[in-house]
Structure 1
Amino acid sequence: MRTSSAVLSLAVAATLLAAFRPSLAAERDRAQQLNKIKVTAEEEGRSTVGNVQVVGVTDLEAEQAQNFEDAIRYIPGVSIVDLGRFGDNGFNIRGLEGDRVALTVDGLSFAESVETTPAYEFFRASRGSIDIDSVKAIEVVKGADSIAAGSGALGGAIMFTTKDPYDYLKPGDNDSYFRVKTGYTSNTDELMTTATLANRTGRVESMVLYTRRRGHEADSWYDSSPIETGSGRRTPDPIDRESDEVLAKLDFLIGDSQRFGLVGEYSRATNEINNLSRVGGPGYLTRRADDDNDRDRYGLRYSWDAASTFFDSLEWTADRVETKSRALTTILAGTGCVPQNVVPCVRSEDRATEQVLDRTALDFSKAWRTGSVGHDLVYGLAWQQREVDFAAVDTRYVGRTSDTSSITVDPDQVPNTDVTTYSAYLRDSLYLLNDRLTLHAGVRYDRTEYSPTLDAQFVDPTGSIHDVEFSAPTWQAGLDFKFADEHSVWAQVGRGFRAPTVGELYAPTSSSIVTEVATGQQVSLWDSASNPDLEAEESLNTELGYRWQTESVQIGLSAFRDKYTNFIEINDFIQDPGTQYQSCSGNTCTVTLGKEYSMAANVGEVTVKGVEVEGRWSISQQWSVRLAASYSEGEKENGDPLPSILPASGVLGLRYQSPTQRWSLTGNVTHAEAKKLKDATLSETSDFFTSLVPDYLSDAYTVLDLFGDINITKDLRLNAGVYNVFDAKYYLWPRVRFVNEGTNTLYGYVTGDGIGRYSEPGRNFRVSLSWQF
């Protein structure tokens, strides 16, 4: 396999190089570019945070991004969080991850995580997804910006913007556009096709975009495994992946200044997994999984460029998003076949979560000048309600037959809960001293109400669950001063926050019967309890930066210090610590002072600090260089490091654009430092899945990627690339930090060479061909 991959990779490179011949006709045709959507990394996003990068559709196309991980591949300090068998579960920005990084698409927040245990397989990816080919821009915000992204933008935010009909259509007259793109990715054996159709007839604009993907598991560096099943398997488990997504938009133009539109999204993704790495011993003879991840969106939108006294533009949106995740596991077991005791037997575990988000928002903008002072004001308000639901059913069968021996409806992971949020914000940017000084100031207010419903599927023996509400004001201030024609400094300070998730507030509650030693009386005490008295996590983010910008050179350097308070973690506590209780299991009884139980709690502070650099140099019209690097370190209140901090990394890129602009070639070198043991070792932990000392660390690595594109004709374009050109073997810290060494098949531990299945792909290639008219 590795040999064939190398041959194919070289063939792709040869195809690119052979095609790179200038053409006068191509120069004339360059005016009609393939990608009509002009969103580049240099464009300004919605956030005023000083450290923002916008990844535009031209970047995504050039780098052949097939998923979120590809999209941020060349942004140091940002990584995907790969937990659970659904795949990614959000992003890591400057060491904060999961629900602590806000994810939005067209202003709509993704679903929240339900399972509070970091490394467990189910529901860590219930936040949903959107196909990368439906996106025209990804705004990566480093540092808190609750004003732009709302709750969850504690350490940063990833904000997606989907494509629109007018992105493809010429202004004014009736117009039509059609494009089809097909591609192949070798490391996942994925075939994809995207078809885009846009039209304007009179005052009606429409667009339909459909993407189909069919592939398999992502390769590791290894081609084969000497051990086929069990924790020592060094190649990933076989997976058949399928996904289909449709994005449709219909806009009605009302006069020259108003637009009313309809939005619809349909997303279906399935994984069929042969979980060979979890097969072992008599318990798991076979283990298979069928997972589904669905996302539907229906929306209305209205915009008005009014140029009135109170606003220049108004935008109103109303949306419903339904996100469903289901994990069905089927096991052929050689033990535990009760009550019929027919061995072996089949059992299934069906876990599902559903979240429905309703949101309406009204946003305004107003720009004006008073003498030499300019203003750029944005303000608005929003209402949203999220419904969170959960279901778990365990079924046991008689032997291998379809006859059931038992059906157990497990207690829900969380109660059915309505979460209602009201928010309002205002932000002004002032331009002074002939626009050499810019001041930013903003404030936001959020009020969130949680209403859980207890039923037969979620009982609360502790009596700790009840309605909760809290309010959270946040703010942000900053300045940008151009002290010389080519030089400027900037500074910012902001308060971020994250409201607790339903899973953190209302994780399963349970109790057990123990005996009070002094009286002999049996009492019910907690094993786990909810904590509705949790406070929102908060952050205070400060950052200083310097920029040097000329016509050919752009260099930026920044240093930041982020302090996070009220961190939420699952901790152990003692109920009735002054009373002796006896608890028995089988023939063994123990006596303790008080009863230990677990509960989510605000546990203290975390400080993260670091430096980042970003530079671009246009050497000539044909040659350009890009440099980006990031270093950060984090520490908890007790002196422990923050293990989720990413190792220092950097990207150096060299790009050549032909004089006719017909073709281009880019080489990117990515280097990451090793994760040091002292930066990942804890003095104490209450998390069953997190070791005090990690069993695996990531080593330093350097990877070269080579990719390019050519306009074969004005309507036909070829993109191709070879990734990890020198076939380096390496591991990413976010993928190995939760991996433990051992034979416990319940949680997917690894032994021996088993860590190999978490390695990154070796040399691989991608190629795509697109045609438009």
Structure 2
Amino acid sequence: MKNLYRPILLLALITIGLIGLTVPPVLAQTASVEGTVRDPAGKPLAGVNVALPDLRKGTSTNADGTYRITDLPAGSHAITYSFVGYNTHTLQLSLDDGEVQTLDVTLTRETLQTETVTVTGTPYESDPLTTPADVDVLTGDTKFSRQQTSLGASLDELAGVSTISTGSQTGKPVIRGLSGSRVRVLDDGTAMDYQQYGVRHGPNVDPFTSERIEVVRGAASVQYGSDALGGAVNVISNALPDATDEAPFLQGETLGEFSSNNDELVGGVHLNGAVNRWGFTGTIIRRTAGNMTAPDVPTFRESDDTSAPKFSGELDHTDYDQLNGSLGIGYQTGIGQLSAEYTRWQNEHNFLLPNGRGLGQNLENNTLQIEGDLDLGHDFTLSPQLTYSTNLRQSNPGGDQAEPRSGLPDDGYAHLDVLLDSYTARTELKHPGLGSFSGMLGLEYKYQDQETRGAEPLVPSAKIHNIAAFVFEQAELDNLTLSFGARFDARNQQAQPHPDLNLPDYNAGETDEVLDQSFFEFSGSLGATYQFTKQLAIAANIGRGFRAPSLFNLHADGVHGGIAAYQRGNPYLDSEYSLSTDFSLRWRSNKVQARATVYRNAIDNYMFLVNTGEFADPDNEGPPILEFVQGDARLVGGNADISARLLPWLQLSGTFETVKGENVEDDISEIDDLPLLPPTRLSGKVSIIRSSLGQAENLFLSLGVQYTSSKEAAGRYEPFWQFGNSPEFSDFGVASTDAYTLFNATLGSDIPLWNRPVSLQLSANNLLNTAYRDFLDTYKGYALSPGRDIRLRIKIPFPVL
């Protein structure tokens, strides 16, 4: 951490500068909110989560249903009440200095999740119905039901969101047809880097360690810079509790899961508590799984059908072992909250290669985040944040044995070994109304130090500096909401020479100038929402995003074992620029929630990896060579979702999504389609609900069906195109996929224990054990997608003191 002084110094300077801009003196936070939370029968509810998302403060109700949150700044804040089996309730809280406001709340039995707030893609906490950005929030019971091992799989049911999967442990989100380095994954608003250029490189995130996950569709570069031109996923940690002027408390919950498909066992514990002004949260979770199982069908050797899978049934070398956790601590000062959180994620797993052998990997992420939310008085809030993270990626070609993870070393460097240290200093100043507008000003500095180790470099060692300034404003004008934002980034990338990467490639005429490259980028957004009635709103957005070429895009030169290809960069690539527009119609009531969106995204200088038709071995053997080129591209699509409570015991829901991506650059190739686009998908679900049966509460039975259309591979642009398209590359496999239909079912209930609900769920995915290939499953070239999976899940809340 020898370079940590740079962002610390810059954070101090920009924080002092922003404080100087505010002018008003710092005032103590003296407001409070208190009250009682009850069920419809008037019975107090214990353990209800009460939170102020924009301040990241919260508490839980006591055994008598009471709560109290102190040291709040004056101004307007959203406050949410969430509890298992009940609708999340959101109120707008308006506080004066020194005010103690009483808010008694009655929670209703869960029908639809109709009230929540978002803090992503907006300058301050907002209602997703009226914010111009197209946002989804995953929290509470919905998050519990949908969260999986990977982040991508946890979001896959959202309309317009898909996942690129490699077994159940790896899933990276796809938003409106864009993924990887075009979708920014955030850790509490700070960009997370995980070598995301790789098709099989998923975000190093365990959904269990977060309180909520927010998804922004469309360009989000104004707030989050490069790589957010397609959207953003913000993983938000648990709010820190507060026991000022209250008795100390400690409570928690345990999670247990079993999945039949790969014998996955999951055990996790979450604790939170507070003593006076000190609060803490802690989470630890262990996931261990054997090999994945696909439907047992004849292989291509057994059937003489070259489109049949090479492997079926139990797929060797698809096991994994994860140990993840987080620890946060905070202190409520007289002017706001200071907090620190440490998060660790580790996944040791195998990939099944086309030759049947295993590729072992060890992936680690460590993040330390220190931040504050400080009330400067007169509705000014300053939020400085300092983040240090390390990302380690180790990979070894392995043998036929799955343990120890196909040959990972106990010490020393792996065959491919990359360590990335990232330091981010970010400060946001939220200001009150300037005329009709209120919003934020922000400064951000990021320094990255990448060290490439091991025998297989793939990408060079390098240092990256990025400094940015941004503004994001929003106005509420009766039924009309307007937002606009602007951002400027200055980025410098300094790669180190590496002879094994031909860097620089003097034989090709390159000079040392390719090692040091700078990019100066502008991004902006403009959005509007008009609310016709309390239930109906329309929204429109236009945004300009950008993506600077990564070290991988510019300088890759080597075998990437995870995708069985030799990848070659291009040091003369320019930044990508996107101009995205969307229009949505939204409806939200107690019984019906619906949304339909159409969008268009034009991207200049879109970077393609194209199969050159050559091999890494001069004797036309070994992996194919993929090389970066770029040209203009266009994506057009739409998505829709609806949930309707037709009767007290009957709920219907469904989603639809489609996207078409085109290469509009005539000079690149005759191929029109873009790679890694999800097929058109239509899903529906019927849920039968009963409020109680004996001791059981909130019973439900859901039956779902999902239809996915066929999808043609984008020719030489498509990863794993070599399977099934040319005998010279492979004598088996497919790159395109057929249409298929899957059936799913879930049975769930809550059972009271210690005056708190124990949640039980039994689910079946791919209920009929259908043999199919998901187009975005990276095993599709030589194996089927997972077969039937029966999953049992239990969550037990408990009080400690």
- Pairwise TM-score range, normalised by the shorter structure: 0.7 to 0.9
Distance change (3 Å), C-alpha of 1:133 and 1:173: same
1:551 Cα deviation from its structure 2 partner: 4.2
| Map of 2:772 onto structure 1 | 731
1:469 Cα deviation from its structure 2 partner: 0.4
| Map of 2:697 onto structure 1 | 662
| Map of 2:628 onto structure 1 | 600
Could you give the per-residue CA deviations for residues 10-47 of structure 1, whole angstroms, max 9, x where no partner exists? Answer: xxxxxxxxxxxxxx999777722576675766523221
Distance 1:549 1:556 in 2: 9
1:145 Cα deviation from its structure 2 partner: 1.4
| Map of 1:673 onto structure 2 | 708
Distance 1:623 1:573 in 2: 55
| 2:756 aligned residue (704, 709, 715) | 715
Amino acid in structure 1 at the alignment position of 2:387 = D
| Map of 1:770 onto structure 2 | 796
Q: Is the 8 A contact 1:699 1:730 kept in 2?
A: no
| 1:618 aligned residue (645, 661, 666) | 645
| Map of 1:268 onto structure 2 | 346
1:55 Cα deviation from its structure 2 partner: 0.8
Could you give the per-residue CA deviations for residues 143-170 of structure 1, whole angstroms, max 9, x where no partner exists? Answer: 111123321112222111111332x979
Q: Is the 8 A contact 1:190 1:214 kept in 2?
A: yes
Distance 1:86 1:362 in 2: 36
Residue 258 of structure 1 pairs with residue 336 of structure 2: yes
| Map of 2:672 onto structure 1 | 640
Distance 1:551 1:171 in 2: 37
1:196 Cα deviation from its structure 2 partner: 2.0
Tell which deviates more after alignment, 711-720 or 311-320: 711-720
1:437 Cα deviation from its structure 2 partner: 0.9
Distance 1:321 1:723 in 2: 37
Tell which deviates more after alignment, 723-732 or 194-203: 723-732
Could you give the per-residue CA deviations for residues 478-530 of structure 1, whole angstroms, max 9, x where no partner exists? Answer: 111124554332211111111111111112399xxxxxxxxxxxxxxxx9975
1:443 Cα deviation from its structure 2 partner: 0.7
| Map of 1:389 onto structure 2 | 451
Q: Is the 8 A contact 1:77 1:646 kept in 2?
A: no
3-state SS, counterpart of residue 267 of structure 2 = strand
| Map of 1:179 onto structure 2 | 253
| Map of 1:136 onto structure 2 | 211
Amino acid in structure 2 at the alignment position of 1:328 = N
Residue 248 of structure 1 pairs with residue 327 of structure 2: yes
| Map of 2:289 onto structure 1 | 215
1:135 Cα deviation from its structure 2 partner: 1.2
Percent of residue pairs identical:
17
Amino acid in structure 2 at the alignment position of 1:363 = E
Say which one has the larger Rg: 1
3-state SS, counterpart of residue 330 of structure 2 = strand
| 1:299 aligned residue (365, 369, 372) | 369
Distance 2:768 2:612 in 1: 49
Q: Is the 8 A contact 1:389 1:414 kept in 2?
A: no
| Map of 2:45 onto structure 1 | 31
Q: Is the 8 A contact 1:438 1:479 kept in 2?
A: yes
| Map of 2:126 onto structure 1 | none
1:316 Cα deviation from its structure 2 partner: 0.8
1:738 Cα deviation from its structure 2 partner: 7.2
Q: Structure 1 length as normaliser, TM-score?
A: 0.75
Amino acid in structure 1 at the alignment position of 2:698 = W
Q: Is the 8 A contact 2:537 2:585 kept in 1?
A: yes
| Map of 1:498 onto structure 2 | 547
Distance 1:151 1:473 in 2: 10
Q: How do residues 66-85 of structure 1 correspond to structure 2 at under 5 angstroms? A: 66-83=149-166
Residue 440 of structure 1 pairs with residue 508 of structure 2: no
1:262 Cα deviation from its structure 2 partner: 1.6
| Map of 1:428 onto structure 2 | 473
Distance change (3 Å), C-alpha of 1:666 and 1:378: farther
3-state SS, counterpart of residue 619 of structure 1 = strand
Amino acid in structure 2 at the alignment position of 1:298 = L
Distance 1:500 1:437 in 2: 38
Higher relative contact order (CA 8 A, sep 6+): 1
| Map of 1:377 onto structure 2 | 439
Distance 1:231 1:534 in 2: 37
Distance change (3 Å), C-alpha of 1:218 and 1:716: farther
Distance 1:684 1:64 in 2: 32
3-state SS, counterpart of residue 117 of structure 2 = coil
3-state SS, counterpart of residue 398 of structure 2 = strand
Distance change (3 Å), C-alpha of 1:737 and 1:452: closer
Distance change (3 Å), C-alpha of 1:50 and 1:626: farther
3-state SS, counterpart of residue 293 of structure 2 = coil
Tell which deviates more after alignment, 91-100 or 547-556: 547-556
1:674 Cα deviation from its structure 2 partner: 1.8
| Map of 1:563 onto structure 2 | 602
Distance 1:616 1:685 in 2: 35
Distance change (3 Å), C-alpha of 1:67 and 1:331: closer
| Map of 1:466 onto structure 2 | 515
Distance 2:760 2:663 in 1: 45
Distance change (3 Å), C-alpha of 1:536 and 1:266: same
1:770 Cα deviation from its structure 2 partner: 1.4
Could you give the per-residue CA deviations for residues 596-637 of structure 1, whole angstroms, max 9, x where no partner exists? Answer: x985332x2221112222223333555443332212222211
Amino acid in structure 2 at the alignment position of 1:497 = F
Distance change (3 Å), C-alpha of 1:320 and 1:691: farther
Flag structure 1 segments of 5+ consecutive residues without an equivalent: 1-23, 119-123, 280-286, 334-347, 394-409, 511-526, 575-583, 589-596, 741-749
Distance change (3 Å), C-alpha of 1:277 and 1:501: closer
Distance 1:655 1:529 in 2: 50
Could you give the per-residue CA deviations for residues 451-473 of structure 1, whole angstroms, max 9, x where no partner exists? Answer: 11225665535243320001110
Amino acid in structure 2 at the alignment position of 1:444 = R
1:177 Cα deviation from its structure 2 partner: 1.5
Distance 1:443 1:540 in 2: 14
Amino acid in structure 2 at the alignment position of 1:451 = Q
Q: Is the 8 A contact 1:222 1:234 kept in 2?
A: yes
Distance 1:528 1:759 in 2: 26
Q: Is the 8 A contact 1:462 1:529 kept in 2?
A: no
Q: How do residues 273-672 of structure 1 correspond to structure 2 at under 5 angstroms? A: 278-279=355-356, 287-308=357-378, 312-331=380-399, 350-368=415-433, 370=435, 374-393=436-455, 410=456, 412-432=457-477, 435-454=478-497, 460=503, 462-463=505-506, 464=510, 465-484=514-533, 486-508=535-557, 531-570=570-609, 600-602=628-630, 604-619=631-646, 623-637=650-664, 640-659=672-691, 662-672=697-707
1:218 Cα deviation from its structure 2 partner: 3.0
1:86 Cα deviation from its structure 2 partner: 9.7
Q: Is the 8 A contact 2:324 2:346 kept in 1?
A: yes
Tell which deviates more after alignment, 681-690 or 611-620: 681-690
Q: Is the 8 A contact 1:696 1:737 kept in 2?
A: no
Distance change (3 Å), C-alpha of 1:115 and 1:352: farther
Q: Is the 8 A contact 1:486 1:550 kept in 2?
A: yes
| 1:698 aligned residue (735, 738, 741) | 738
Q: Is the 8 A contact 2:165 2:778 kept in 1?
A: no
3-state SS, counterpart of residue 454 of structure 2 = strand
Distance 2:243 2:683 in 1: 35
Two-structure CA RMSD over aligned residues (Å): 3.7
| Map of 1:743 onto structure 2 | none
Distance change (3 Å), C-alpha of 1:115 and 1:438: closer
3-state SS, counterpart of residue 552 of structure 2 = helix
| Map of 1:104 onto structure 2 | 186
Q: Structure 2 length as normaliser, TM-score?
A: 0.72
